[in-house]
Chains A and B, each alone.
Chain A
Amino acid sequence: LAKTTQPISMDSYEGQEVNITCSHNNIATNDYITWYQQFPSQGPRFIIQGYKTKVTNEVASLFIPADRKSSTLSLPRVSLSDTAVYYCLVGLGNMLTFGGGTRLMVKP
């Protein structure tokens, strides 16, 4: 069964760089990889999207190897407000599939 896999949780400290990896062995050829952030009692919010290699915006970077079977979300210098759940979203076959989410806890 095609699936998308992420670590369940991660801890970090303020000011550190955090890398969250998503595995998606059966990603569809033409589909992008998208990452979302979710705070309690809110809907997910778009962070970054890419197809291959590296993408960077004002809040994060996304690294995608050549085989595209995984992707890594990188959050530079996290703060307490980055404590949230992070999801990857990829196309697997006919369907868009979210990973199970990674709960990031940023400590002072």
Chain B
Amino acid sequence: DAEITQSPRHKITETGRQVTLACHQTWNHNNMFWYRQDLGHGLRLIHYSYGVHDTNKGEVSDGYSVSRSNTEDLPLTLESAASSQTSVYFCASSAGDRRQETQYFGPGTRLLVL
């Protein structure tokens, strides 16, 4: 069955380190998204991509980067991790060319920055 996976599921890192969170989907979806979820803030969009080599900044993109070299993967990189980036990160994907096609979410990555 097609699916969307995230790895690692849990990560502890130190302030200043570079961290990369992986997202892989097997639906062949054009659109992929990264969100962070914090208490009191719900889900906030970090970056998104509407196709290979396309990337766009979301609401809270500072300190994060993404690249889309193929359809299946959209890795999220924290260039220099900060304690404020401690959060749960969700990746999602959707098909089609309408930006609000149904999004399918991964299980999340819980990141702790010490």
**B-contacting residues of A (Cβ < 8 Å)?**
31-32, 34, 36, 41-46, 49, 87, 89, 91, 95-101
Q: List 20 A-B contacts (CB under 8 A).
A: A31-B99, A31-B100, A32-B100, A34-B102, A36-B103, A41-B107, A42-B107, A44-B103, A46-B103, A49-B102, A89-B100, A91-B99, A96-B45, A96-B48, A96-B100, A97-B59, A98-B43, A100-B41, A100-B42, A101-B42
Q: Which of chain B's residues has its CB closest to A98's CB?
A: B43
Report how far A96 CA is from B100 CA in the complex, Å.
8
**A-contacting residues of B (Cβ < 8 Å)?**
33, 35, 40-45, 48, 58-59, 90, 92, 98-100, 102-108
Interface hub of A34, A42, A43, A49 (most chain B Cβ within 10 A): A43
Report how far A46 CA is from B92 CA in the complex, Å.
11
Q: Which of chain A's residues has its CB closest to B4's CB?
A: A43
| Nearest CB on A from B44, distance (A) | 7
Report how far A32 CA is from B101 CA in the complex, Å.
9
Interface hub of A34, A36, A41, A44 (most chain B Cβ within 10 A): A44
Report how far A71 CA is from B46 CA in the complex, Å.
25
Report how far A101 CA is from B42 CA in the complex, Å.
6
Q: Which of chain B's residues has its CB closest to A94's CB?
A: B56
| Nearest CB on A from B98, distance (A) | 8
By a CB distance below 8 angstroms, the chain A residues around B33 are 96
Q: Which of chain A's residues has its CB closest to B48's CB?
A: A96
Q: Which of chain B's residues has its CB closest to A90's CB?
A: B100
Given contacts A32-B100, A96-B99, A97-B59, are A43 and B105 in contact (CB under 8 A)?
yes
